[in-house]
Structure 1
Amino acid sequence: MRTLTLTTALLAGLSLTLAACELGPDAPSRGPVLIPAAAEGATCDVPADLTPARPYRIPADEVAADVPVAFNMLAVSWSPQACRSGKDYPDERYQCAQNQFGLTLHGLWPNGADNRHPRYCAAPGPAIPVATVRKHFCMTPSPSLQQHEWAAHGTCGWDSPEAYFEQAARMWNGLNKPDLEAIPAQRLTAGAIRDAFVAANPGLPREGVFIATTDGWFREARLCYARDYRPMRCPRGLGAPDRERLKLAPTGTAQTPR
């Protein structure tokens, strides 16, 4: 089993992130930028037996190949909530039993201008190559979810799963991940989580952070980006209102849910 330790020095990186956040993930670099990849102490074990998921039958009623892309969303999930609820990440053994994640990437989603979004824009082809699945496992720790994200979303803007996940990885690696567990339980609201993402990422507008919840639990933050991948305001609301009190599933099994 290969072990990747994703430990970073947050304080060393904070002073260097502003240029990258303002330019966007695809803009030319103005110099070296140190951006923490994950919370300090987080680890990711890439399983030796990791294999791609099988392609699945595309649901005909979800195909929307004719919808133009108006903007993009980067859906950043709270992994303990996915493990707690059993939603979004179907490979529990890899994500929940073998690893302890905090924030992980649900996906990069092209969005339409209204409530219709581009989806399943082309036949996804064979299973994602195992090298691609392994390369991006620590970002999206579920082969099944990787296959779904490529089929449902990646085919609506990229020619291959490699190109899709490379773009997602550039955005993911360019994002400072806030320590959500540092927020006191009595102050944990949708607004506090929104503020944490903005404070960690200068250049990210507060109106660009959509907060998704499930029955009072924080589920994920969906960050809005223009078609050129620059941060922007979310054009259709921000999800949970600032004042909404939330609970946060703990990363450690010995911890008590907040």
Structure 2
Amino acid sequence: MRQIRRLLLLISAVWAAAPLWAEGERAGDFDYYVLSLSWSPTWCALEGDARHSPQCDASEDFGWVLHGLWPQDEDGGYPSYCRTPKRDPSRAETAAMADIMGTDGAAWYQWKKHGRCSGLSAGTYLGAARLAYGAVKRPEVFRKLPREVTLPASVVEQAFLKANPKMTPDMITVTCKAGRIQEARICLTRKLELRDCGAGVDRDCTLEDALLEPIR
């Protein structure tokens, strides 16, 4: 019993002395980005309302919000929780992203899981995410819905293609969750230029009657 206790104490001491690295791949080792845009009313209905998220307050009018800018591999895998010497963003830096991400907590989580894998500093990564978000035009038609509708998920994709003439069907994927339109995912090079999506990202939602709720 004493030996076990000594062993546990030794392990605890090693953990305490070790650097607080997240387990994961090497930062900067990826092929391209996926810009993920989430339809806020769907997220609020499925998760946000239960969390009492300020993103879902009646005073807000979020439509397509920035879910994240995700490093992606050609084979369909993606790095996450990477090791990086870059410092984490300050509270001010994450709070500054709330206007396009819904909350500052979303920005912190995305940095922790995906941003560290970019190999960029926190400020540069968040700046790149904002730049990518601003470069893609979100179809205005969805902001004008007077009531909830059901529609083929392909209609959402076509609306994005019409709003972004340089985008092709191979560069965007629309996803669904629980019978609802969930996200539009656009593939970008490491220089944030449009490109075809790789394996695993190019699977579109095939629902013909996906629910799309209006902005609150």
Q: TM-score, normalised by structure 2?
A: 0.77
Aligned-pair distance for 1:182? Answer: 5.3
* Distance (Å, rounded) in 2 between the aligned partners of 1:147 and 1:130: 9
What is the count of residue pairs matched by the alignment?
192
- Contact 2:150 2:211 (8 Å CA) reproduced: no
- Contact 2:172 2:185 (8 Å CA) reproduced: yes
* Distance (Å, rounded) in 2 between the aligned partners of 1:84 and 1:66: 34
* Distance (Å, rounded) in 2 between the aligned partners of 1:177 and 1:120: 29
Match of 1:232 among 184, 189, 195: 195
Aligned-pair distance for 1:202? Answer: 1.4
Residue 180 (str. 1) matches residue 145 (str. 2): no
CA deviations over 1:49-89 (Å, ceiling 9, x no partner) = xxxxxxxx8874xx2337831211000000011111116x9
**Is the deviation greater in 146-155 or in 185-194?**
185-194
Residue 247 (str. 1) matches residue 211 (str. 2): yes
Q: What amino acid does structure 2 have at the position aligned with 1:139?
A: I
Aligned-pair distance for 1:206? Answer: 1.7
| Counterpart in the other structure of 2:168 | 205
Q: Counterparts of 1:56-135 in structure 2 under 5 Å?
A: 60=23, 63-65=24-26, 68-86=29-47, 92-97=52-57, 98-122=59-83, 128-135=89-96
Q: Which has the higher helix share?
A: 2
Residue 191 (str. 1) matches residue 191 (str. 2): no
Structure 1 residues 175 and 141: alpha-carbon distance in aligned structure 2, compared to 1, 3 A threshold = same
* Distance (Å, rounded) in 2 between the aligned partners of 1:218 and 1:187: 9
Aligned-pair distance for 1:222? Answer: 0.5
Q: Residue 247 of structure 1: SS of its match in structure 2? A: strand
* Distance (Å, rounded) in 2 between the aligned partners of 1:92 and 1:198: 34
- Contact 1:91 1:143 (8 Å CA) reproduced: no
Q: What amino acid does structure 1 have at the position aligned with 2:182?
A: R
Q: What amino acid does structure 1 have at the position aligned with 2:193?
A: R
Paired-residue identity, %: 24
* Distance (Å, rounded) in 2 between the aligned partners of 1:182 and 1:137: 22
Aligned-pair distance for 1:145? Answer: 1.6
Task: Note the residue ranges of structure 1 that are not aligned, 5 or more in a row.
Answer: 1-56, 253-258
| Counterpart in the other structure of 1:24 | none
**Is the deviation greater in 150-159 or in 106-115?**
150-159
Match of 2:114 among 117, 139, 153: 153
* Distance (Å, rounded) in 2 between the aligned partners of 1:58 and 1:245: 44
Aligned-pair distance for 1:117? Answer: 0.8
Q: Residue 133 of structure 2: SS of its match in structure 1? A: helix
CA deviations over 1:150-200 (Å, ceiling 9, x no partner) = 111111124322111100111111121112255797772111000001111
* Distance (Å, rounded) in 2 between the aligned partners of 1:92 and 1:158: 33
Q: What amino acid does structure 2 have at the position aligned with 1:65?
A: R
Structure 1 residues 90 and 177: alpha-carbon distance in aligned structure 2, compared to 1, 3 A threshold = farther
Task: Note the residue ranges of structure 2 that are not aligned, 5 or more in a row.
Answer: 1-19
* Distance (Å, rounded) in 2 between the aligned partners of 1:185 and 1:94: 22
Q: What is the CA RMSD across the aligned residues, in angstroms?
A: 2.8
| Counterpart in the other structure of 2:12 | none
Q: TM-score, normalised by structure 1?
A: 0.66
| Counterpart in the other structure of 2:103 | 142
Rg larger for? 2
Q: Residue 115 of structure 1: SS of its match in structure 2? A: coil
**Is the deviation greater in 95-104 or in 189-198?**
95-104
